[in-house]
Structure 1
């Protein structure tokens, strides 16, 4: 994102989260719906978490090629760039056909579509793909830099955070700044003022992202059982129930139609007031998920999802 801001200034900070519909032609015409994060200059897609990433990529490239296919009679050099950027996350964890498609996009559409491919380990990126990119390795921040960020956040939020507790969070995060910030948020929700002995939850945000993806992909009662186990693990790891609910709603909002958002806000407020503390909140969280699944199934009955 810093790289994009350097190119396009602050325009890439105005993000929107929308559902895009793509038509695919296989044995029979099918329409799929994929959540896309975008600005006026770029689009983002997690090709590992999104089961329809292959079709979404094809649809996005087609959309870009259509947008930039017409050469304007008057130069638009002062109004927009002549290309769009696709930012793809977790490419190293995605299926090989995704990487082959990336190579195809570069070979055919590199003049109008630039790609930024993000991964944890480029050893899992196919050589024919890697050879077409400039590889930039970004080192993890050292512990003292993570501490500085946590202390700065605490000052902005008017939270009392000792150097010792900041060091404890930074050390436990193993140089992952995002996890450290999320751990600070979870600690604040669980117990404040902080205690040097209180638990520090890590990795809880990834679990909530997985849960939301599962709900949107399969809003069935059979899926609810596996989701229940993940919610229980979060509560046992001392993640505050209200924080779980809020983050889950944030993720679900990115993957639903605008017509459902008002209803989701309503049920968020309804259950937020009724959540008991600690692990006893599991039943209410499960009720919320079941309620949303029911609403989502009804809204999806009129369209086909693969």
Structure 2
């Protein structure tokens, strides 16, 4: 039984219910005969992947939906390790997430894309002579991998088109941005999300009050995927939906909120830091990305601290986010951020008590 978010995912550009001008633009690119490399960016839950799958269908027809998952094995340059990597593919396209391999992502880019680019289109009746490779989480690629990607784009462009999906372009090197058409997919508005929630519920023959749909849209922070999952969760747990029913916060957000409260309200010492470190480990073991943990902790702290501290906290959050990207042990940098916050808050609290 499929989740509602997958069951009612639009399959074509015409079926997408928001950003219609963007859908028209992608449709015209697909039929122009000169399809470029794309860099599609925007926040999580904005519909980037859905739009790209719909664009591929516009390019090649329904055959792109006949996919298979292959486990490919790559050997490191030293030959000491073998890496297993999952590839989702059809006869017309391939979808990969090289950042899953960490610092070995350059190896995936070099070997896999070269192999795809050097092969001709198998289906002679295909509308396009090139294959498309969709790269997820392109903004998490290492600099070496991005450099390899740039060379691949230059050398094999007749047989290959790349579609890069990213949350932000700030981590993408300039040569790649200059060789792609940038497409920004903005987060849907609260009104768009409310309308979609009501439509999904109607197709499931579930009555959802408009007030509840609006509250879910606000609580989801304009993340459509999260909003639909929240709606389905509320219905499955309660059997019916009422306007004033509480919207539960995800467990991982509750843990991060407790960390922020402890940093502000509890005695700041080594014992507290050890407890916070254990909670960071727990979050990481449940596959919550370190950057998401840091960002959520930052916003929770900003809601709790005095205006004078906000600029300092934002500065150090940016500093440690950069450390997370270039380091290898993310928990060290999360713990260092917590320790820095303890120090800043302690100094501020002491200064305020002296003034009083």
TM-score under structure 1 normalisation?
0.59
Matched, 1:105 2:152: yes
Query: Which residue in the other structure is 1:42 paired with?
Result: 93
Structure 1 residue 28, shift from structure 2 partner: 2.3
Identify which of 122, 132, 137 aligns with 1:90: 137
Higher mean C-alpha displacement, 171-180 vs 50-59: 50-59
Deviation readout 1:11-68 (Å, 9 max, x if unpaired): 22223233122344x2226432101222221111223334343222223223213422
Structure 1 residue 82, shift from structure 2 partner: 2.3
Runs of 4+ in 1 over 6 A off after TM superposition: none
Against the structure 1 CA distance between its residues 202 and 96, is the aligned structure 2 distance closer, same or farther, given a 3 Å change threshold?
Answer: farther
Partner Cα distance (2:236, 2:281) in 1: 25
What runs of 5+ residues in structure 1 fail to find an aligned partner?
205-224, 234-306
Partner Cα distance (1:112, 1:21) in 2: 24
Q: Tell me, what secondary structure is at the counterpart of 1:135?
A: strand
Query: Which residue in the other structure is 1:277 paired with?
Result: none
Matched, 1:60 2:112: yes
Q: Tell me, what secondary structure is at the counterpart of 1:139?
A: coil
Query: Which residue in the other structure is 2:78 paired with?
Result: 27
Query: Which residue in the other structure is 1:264 paired with?
Result: none
Identify which of 61, 64, 68 aligns with 1:9: 61
Structure 1 residue 229, shift from structure 2 partner: 7.7
Against the structure 1 CA distance between its residues 135 and 32, is the aligned structure 2 distance closer, same or farther, given a 3 Å change threshold?
Answer: same
Against the structure 1 CA distance between its residues 201 and 23, is the aligned structure 2 distance closer, same or farther, given a 3 Å change threshold?
Answer: same
Identify which of 158, 172, 190 aligns with 1:143: 190
Matched, 1:117 2:164: yes
Identify which of 135, 151, 156 aligns with 2:203: 156
RMSD of Structure 2 on Structure 1 (CA): 2.9
**Are the aligned partners of 1:182 and 1:202 in contact in 2 as well (CA < 8 Å)?**
no
What runs of 5+ residues in structure 2 fail to find an aligned partner?
1-52, 253-279, 289-356
Deviation readout 1:240-274 (Å, 9 max, x if unpaired): xxxxxxxxxxxxxxxxxxxxxxxxxxxxxxxxxxx
Partner Cα distance (2:96, 2:79) in 1: 25
Aligned length: 207
Structure 1 residue 117, shift from structure 2 partner: 0.8
Query: Which residue in the other structure is 1:207 paired with?
Result: none
Structure 1 residue 132, shift from structure 2 partner: 0.4
Against the structure 1 CA distance between its residues 122 and 39, is the aligned structure 2 distance closer, same or farther, given a 3 Å change threshold?
Answer: same
